[in-house]
Amino acid sequence: MSEKMAWSQLIRDVPDFPKPGIIFKDITPLLADGEAFSAVIEEMAALVDGRVDAIVGIESRGFIFGAALAQRLGLGLVTVRKPGKLPADVHAVEYELEYGVDRLEIHRDALAPGHRVVIVDDLLATGGTAAATVKLIEMLGAEVVSCLFVIELDFLEGRKALAGTAVASLLHF
């Protein structure tokens, strides 16, 4: 069994969570397995190409993978948060969800013009959260090199929301 096959089996399906009809991809067993978690970070690190100045983690599971990846690459971590979580001046972007509108924020001084970043999250679904994060990065004058995800739900076509941005995912469902 390949290493990817082994760690991918640690992602469990939880039916009807958080609401009926949804099959939630639960990564907590993967995170609890040190070897598997390390293997995922190594695979993500192998996908980072060229000069990168920082890793951007999206709240909240993107913080987990983003922090580990940033540490592995010797880079800093920039966090993109939900409203009211960052203490200094922020830029904010609203984006649409299936059931309403949400908002993401980044510190205005988190990145400088010309910085090159990789955005990291656990899951690419419809792409709204990642696309909003790309907008925040661009508001700071920084450049998104790529977006990295552990899991991509292909049937939701989230890559369409990220047209023009390089996207890589370790697993596809």
Catalytic residue check, 116: no
Catalytic residue check, 96: no
Q: At what angle do helices 61-73 and 34-47 cross, to 10 degrees?
A: 70
Residue extents of the structural domains in the chain: 50-172
Which one of 3, 42, 59, 98 is the catalytic residue?
Answer: 98
Residue 50 has pLDDT above 70, yes or no: yes
pLDDT in tens, 86-125: 999 999 999 987 677 899 999 999 999 999 999 999 999 9
Residue 159 has pLDDT above 60, yes or no: yes
pLDDT of residue 2: 67
**What pTM, to 2 d.p., does this model score?**
0.95
Question: Please, what sign has the CA dihedral across residues 151, 167, 19, 60?
Answer: positive
Residue 3 has pLDDT above 70, yes or no: yes
Residue 77, judged by CB atoms within 10 A of its CB (0-12, 13-18, 19+), counts as middle
In the chain, pLDDT over 90 holds for what percent of residues? 91
Which one of 61, 72, 116, 159 is the catalytic residue?
Answer: 61
Q: Could you say which DSSP state residue 89 is in? A: -
3.40.50.2020, 3.60.150.10, 3.40.50.2300, 3.40.50.300: CATH of 50-172? 3.40.50.2020
